[in-house]
Each structure stands twice: as C-alpha cells, then as structure tokens.
Structure 1
C-alpha cells in the first residue's frame, strides 16, 4: 500500500510569491533524503517555470484570482499541480524553437519554460482550455529515481 500526503494552497498571482512556491518545492523534494541536491534544484526550477507561466496567464487575462497549487507525495513520487484560470493555450501549437545549444536560439528571448519543465521533471502533463491550464509535474523518489 502506498502512503500519500497531499496539501493544497493558493498564492496571489504575483511574482513576489514565486520564492514561496520554490521553497515548498524544495521542502517537499527533500522529504526523500536520497535525492541529490541537483535533482531537488532541477525540480524547483520546473515548478517555478510552471508557476511563472500561471502568473503571466492571470496577468494577460487581467485576473485577480489566486493560483491553486496541489502537492502530493507518495512513497515513490512527488507531484505538483499548478492551476490557473487564464485564457489557456494549445500545447501542441507552441512555436518550435531551435535547441537551447543552437546559436540561433539567442534570437528568442522567451520560450524555454515548457522545455525546462520537460527535461527537469520525470513526467509533465499539460491540460489547457479557454478557462485555464493545469500543469502537472512529477519526479520519482527513492530507489525509483534513476535521474539522481
């Protein structure tokens, strides 16, 4: 049987709350003492990117609502779900940019968020529609963590 701990919280859709979310991601990841510091930092960046996108989505939609975040920790997995109420987007229609190590990538100021979420977490799911987006990020914990 898998033990599960879950908590929900909300943050105002303002950049000054990113440090709180980053701290919570680190604290949650550090419940698994076998994770390397690098792996914890990677996950913190992935969660931060998703939260930044949610904050920006609320700004574009002129929303003063909070962003909802759910953290779930099981014996073998840590998940963060970041939920906004922005206009949504179609992940499969995102402009394909040059790889990060391609010199032509310097011509683009933005666009690494989803790429970073994908490479810095073990699982990424994005569900988006006209009433908001939910980004789900997860990393494997304990002996199931092959990326440590």
Structure 2
C-alpha cells in the first residue's frame, strides 16, 4: 500500500469497556506502517490503552458523557496517535514520579503508572490542553 498521508478517526463512549476497541483499531492501523514489528505493535497497544483509560477516567471524573476521540495520522514511515478528551485537564509535570524499583512503596503502587508507561513505550508524548481542560 502506498500511503502519502491518511487520517483514521474513531470515537468511543467514555466507558472502560470500549478501551479495547480503541486499542484494536489503532493496532490495525499501525500494521500499515512499514517495518513495524510485533514488539513495537504491542508497545503501541499498551500506550493507547493507558491513554484511553486516562481519557475515560477524566470524563467520568467530571460527569461527561461525551465520547473520547482518537485520531491516527498515518504517514509513510510514521504513525501519530492523538487521544482527545474534554476532562478538566491536568499538569503532567505535577504528576509525582513513581517509586523506584528498590523502594518497598513500589510494590504498593497499584495505580498511577499510565503516564510513565506511555512515555517509556512511545517515541514522543505531548499533552495539549483544550478549551475544556
């Protein structure tokens, strides 16, 4: 397939049950990127799952029933995935770092790993606030 640039959009209800749909669609789009291997594809699935889960939780925290929007910009050698929500927003720099592996608190930290995982699994992460947050 010869791609100049293609945009694939998906809207999902802000419900945890639909995060898997987003993960599956983005993975299917990613298979069009030349040379993507299974490990990289799995990294993308996890990152998308984490980002969508955060977006769903952001909507639920403020009582929004609007959909979470995913935009996949597919270029010949690149895939950019945007996850858009209308939650209240947050400052990613204010998110406390997770405990180091040797720290006993590391074993008790059940939640809050999403941003760290996303950053570790993809090439670039940006947080762009919208008018809503």
Q: TM-score, normalized by length of structure 2? A: 0.90
2:95 aligned residue: 94
Query: Displacement of 1:102 after TM fit?
Result: 3.0
1:3 aligned residue: 4
Q: Which runs of 5+ in 1 are unaligned?
A: 133-148
Query: Displacement of 1:129 after TM fit?
Result: 5.9
Q: Do the aligned partners of 1:43 and 1:121 also contact (CA within 8 Å) in 2?
A: yes
User: What is the alpha-carbon distance in structure 2 between the residues aligned to residue 58 and residue 92 of structure 1?
Assistant: 20
Q: TM-score, normalized by length of structure 1? A: 0.81
2:119 aligned residue: 118
Paired residues, number: 130
Moved over 3 A (4+): none
1:67-82 counterparts in 2 under 5 A? 67-82=68-83
Q: Do the aligned partners of 1:9 and 1:68 also contact (CA within 8 Å) in 2?
A: yes
1:16 aligned residue: 17
Query: Displacement of 1:130 after TM fit?
Result: 6.9
Is residue 30 of structure 1 aligned with residue 31 of structure 2? Answer: yes
SS for the counterpart of 2:125 is strand
Q: Do the aligned partners of 1:87 and 1:130 also contact (CA within 8 Å) in 2?
A: no
User: What is the alpha-carbon distance in structure 1 between the residues aligned to residue 116 and residue 21 of structure 2?
Assistant: 23
RMSD (CA atoms): 1.6
Q: Do the aligned partners of 1:8 and 1:68 also contact (CA within 8 Å) in 2?
A: yes
1:143 aligned residue: none
